[in-house]
Amino acid sequence: MKRLAIPVAILILLVAFLLFFEIPRGKKQASEQRLIPGFHSASLRQFEISSPETNAKLVKDTLGVWRIKEPIETRADSVAVARILTVLDTTKIEETIDATTRPEEFGLDEQSRISFIHRKDTLFVGRNNPTGRLCYVRRSGGENVLLVPAVIRRTLNKTLYELRDKSVFRFDPKDAVQLEISRATDTVRIQKSPDGIWRLVEPENFVCEKAQVMLILNAIAHMRAESFVCEKADSIEKYGLLRPDVKAVVRLENEEEKIFLISSKQSETKRNYAENPEMGKIITVSPIVFKRLSVEPDQLRIKTLLTLSNVDSIKIEGKDTLLLKNRFGKFSIEGQTRTNQDVVQSMIREFTSIRADSLLRNVRCKRTGRRISFFSGKESEHFLLCGRRGEYVLIAKGEDKILYLMPGSMADWFDKSANDFLDRHFLTFDKGDINKVTLRVNDTTFQVVKKKETWQLISPCKRKLDDGRVRHLVDYASDLTWKQLLPDTAEIGQTNITVKIASKSGKEIVIQFTGSVASSAIFEGKKYSIDYYKIGRLRSWFEEEIR
């Protein structure tokens, strides 16, 4: 124990020395390296910047928003202020110079320097040193010149324009419910329905492309003043704003309105003169804003055909008249046992998602009389086939004078018959319910069964099966289809392959494939021609499993 006492005592003395002498001295040295000792931007309430470019006083209001108080009173640019405060918080001294020369040698004379005034302290920033990486700085009351990173000069050397807030409006485009654009020749009014669909209500009535509407709203909401021409809008005629080319009014969900005037007249820098009456200032904005607000109604029109959100029924008037009705989420044709839902959904999907290559107005064409109508409650949309143009077809929507130039394949839907919508799958239940597949080829029986969530080969041998492999089997079994219903008198040969597919609930279907290459089948007493390669896939799967 005595031998341990001396090393322990030495360790205690070393820790005490570090705690009471070395660490405090290190903190003091670190504090001395900061450009403005004791400066914390979070507690700052006001500051001033004075430079050859500008003299500005900034104050933080009760809501924590920085505002310019002098030489004008307006909101400050939050990003510019945050950058200034961050640089002042983090800048450290890299070198100290004993200044024996005049201030102008370092750019610290009154005509050249930038001053940051904080409380009673002032920081003077001079020119960059020859390397350009550092700049000269002097603190008020200090005799020495300090070398610090030159980023502080770039950050503080702001014009009044750079310090002030350039945003014209403060609103989220998603909160807009109406947009009205008044021009010399027309008025375009767009409204958003409760379900979020934008619709043009003046000068025509149609569903708008949401992306096109949002382009306009984003241009207004995120518009920035490129320059401030005059603080008081008392000579608006001079800038073409007495009778502006465009007046835009955005109405928000809270019924607040944002009004904006813009002229086609431009400044020397090719920016359009504009005014926000709420600001009461003449500004210039990007010509892109004027371009967005000069949109033609047809540019807003949605380029897809079908805009109904839910389809209750579909009527096809082509070679025959066909009506598909949606009952409990599934479409069916009267008198038809099973309707192929994939084909119906494919048609709805194409009419909903395929975009027109272009929209044509005032084009003469001969209407074919073929029509497809979609119904949803009391709403309906009607489409007429109006002939071809090269690889495209022309489709009219209702009584619109606009023709949609669509891919030529869209014409096929106008010629569909009931036979095209038949469900040709033999499987009459969901493939997820399959729990047994039996294949009998001549005298050999293959059987796969699902027991307690595990698939097993039962015949001609017994073993567990890989789930990934079984998924292929289920896909092959559920994809067995027929091509045509054959007459009862058709000669189809003898049965050489029999497939049985059973479900968890006890349902079972039996398909007998006939002929030397299994090109025909008997199912529920009727004869069919089939896609024989599909039964070939099923047979190959079993043969590979027993090898």
| CATH number of the domain enclosing 445 | 3.30.1490
Q: Is residue 332 assigned to a domain?
A: yes
Per-residue pLDDT for 2 more than 60? no
- pTM higher than the cut 0.75: no
Q: Quote the domain boundaries for residue 283.
A: 173-300
pLDDT band at 522 (very low <50, low <70, confident <90, very high): very high
Q: Are 499 and 526 in contact (CB under 8 A)?
A: no
Residues 349, 460: one domain? no
Q: Are 214 and 300 in contact (CB under 8 A)?
A: no
Give mean pLDDT, residues 269-283: 86
pLDDT band at 12 (very low <50, low <70, confident <90, very high): low
Distance between CA 467 and CA 453 in Å, rounded?
Answer: 10
Q: Are 53 and 71 in contact (CB under 8 A)?
A: no
Residues 202, 282: one domain? yes
Per-residue pLDDT for 304 more than 80? yes
Residues 215, 108: one domain? no
Residues 159, 177: one domain? no
Per-residue pLDDT for 435 more than 90? yes
State the Cα angle at 90 between 85 and 94, rounded to 5°.
130
Residues 200, 154: one domain? no
For residue 508, what pLDDT is reported? 94
Q: Which tokens in the block code for residue 169?
A: 């409006």
Phi, psi dihedral angles at 227 (to 5 degrees): -160, 155
Is pLDDT larger for residue 62 or for residue 401? 62
Task: Name beta bridge partners: 457.
Answer: 448, 463
pLDDT band at 6 (very low <50, low <70, confident <90, very high): low
Per-residue pLDDT for 26 more than 60? no
Domain end (from 361, 386, 421): 421
Distance between CA 472 and CA 132 in Å, rounded?
Answer: 69
Distance between CA 239 and CA 266 in Å, rounded?
Answer: 8
Residue 12 parent element (H or E)? helix 2-17
Amino acid at 37: P
Judged by average pLDDT, the poorest of 16-30, 39-53, 401-415 is 16-30
For residue 35, what pLDDT is reported? 81
Q: Are 115 and 124 in contact (CB under 8 A)?
A: yes
Q: Is residue 24 assigned to a domain?
A: no
Task: Name beta bridge partners: 394.
Answer: 405
Q: In the chain, how many domains are there? A: 4
Q: Is residue 21 assigned to a domain?
A: no
Q: Are 48 and 117 in contact (CB under 8 A)?
A: yes
Q: Are 188 and 176 in contact (CB under 8 A)?
A: no
Is pLDDT larger for residue 274 or for residue 516? 274
Domain end (from 258, 276, 300): 300
Calculate what percentage of the chain has a pLDDT beyond 70: 93
Is pLDDT larger for residue 543 or for residue 7? 543
With CA atoms as reference, report the closest residue to 217 among 278, 260, 255, 269. 260
With CA atoms as reference, report the closest residue to 124 among 37, 98, 110, 134. 110
Q: Is residue 35 assigned to a domain?
A: no
Give mean pLDDT, residues 130-157: 88
The per-residue b/e assignment along 242-273, b for 16 or more CB within 10 angstroms, e otherwise, is eebbbbbebbbeeeeebebbbbeeeeeeebbb
Judged by average pLDDT, the poorest of 23-27, 34-38, 379-383 is 23-27
For residue 22, what pLDDT is reported? 38
Per-residue pLDDT for 390 more than 70? yes
Per-residue pLDDT for 148 more than 70? yes
Q: Is residue 225 assigned to a domain?
A: yes
For residue 18, what pLDDT is reported? 44
**Residue 10 Cα to chain centre, angstroms:** 66
Residues 415, 444: one domain? no
Domain end (from 163, 188, 223): 163
Token pair 């619109």 is found at 400
Residue 475 parent element (H or E)? helix 467-478
Residues 156, 56: one domain? yes
pLDDT band at 246 (very low <50, low <70, confident <90, very high): very high
Give mean pLDDT, residues 248-255: 92
